[in-house]
Amino acid sequence: MALRKLVAGNWKMNGTLAALAELDGIAAAAAENGGVDVAICPPFTLIAPAVARAPSLAIGAQDCHGQAKGAHTGCISAPMLVETGAKLAIVGHSERRADQHETDAEVRAKASAAIAAGLVAIVCVGETEAQRDAGEAEAVVASQLDGSIPGEGTGVSLVVAYEPVWAIGTGRTPSTGDVAAMHAAIRAKLTALLGAEGAKVRILYGGSVKPDNAKELLAVADVDGALVGGASLTAAQFVPIIEGAVAASA
């Protein structure tokens, strides 16, 4: 089943109000290439102004808390994100799993909270270089999916992003064969976990996606889009990836 592709940009801890000027070109490209969905996830401080500047784009967050409210200093809840105009929330990104020591259980709680608030949850999974070299990549990702995917997830409310940790921001990418094998394994696991809905969940590839490799990666079976880091910070880099997704969908 061919799913509509989603190209999502993760700005990470980058961007001030001046950076929102890049959204003009991105929004224009998204409107011209209506065959794919486009989203930008800027820092929390930029979500509301991003929504105001580019109302036609899906604007998302890079995290949310697993509880709707409470004594959690410095945290942002999913209902708060909804009030800013956000439509999506990335949860379980490898940088948060590593730097903030997030567990699968915490990621699952965050995904559930996002879905309950009406957001689309983008759940990230992926192996380290050591785990891949040890032949454990698929087992590691399967375990993360087991622990991180909420049972109430559907093809509408849930997206999975596979991001080999060793390829993020390094310029290295797995072979298309490696990507195909992992995405097929993820699809099988999603079907085992969610039944028929597992076939409808979009699986994004994330890891040094750039204009020169986007079309090839996005043409791989079960690659339903991309989660893009650094290349999403400017329209000049991000628009060709959107166009690559359109070409791969043709």
Active site members: 93, 163
First CA to last CA across the chain, in angstroms?
14
- What gap in Å lies between CA 126 and CA 141, rounded to an integer? 6
Distance CA 131, CA 122 (A): 23
Instruction: Please tell me the distance from the alpha carbon of residue 124 to that of residue 147, in angstroms, as a whole number.
Output: 12
Q: How many whole angstroms separate alpha carbon 124 and alpha carbon 152?
A: 17
Distances (CA, A) of 49 to 5, 18, 85, 122, 162: 26, 11, 9, 22, 29
Helices (H) and strands (E) in the chain, counts: 10, 8
Single out the residue of 15, 177, 139 nearest to residue 26, CA to CA.
Answer: 15
Alpha helix positions (H), the chain: 22-32, 44-53, 78-84, 94-99, 104-116, 129-133, 137-148, 176-194, 214-218, 235-249
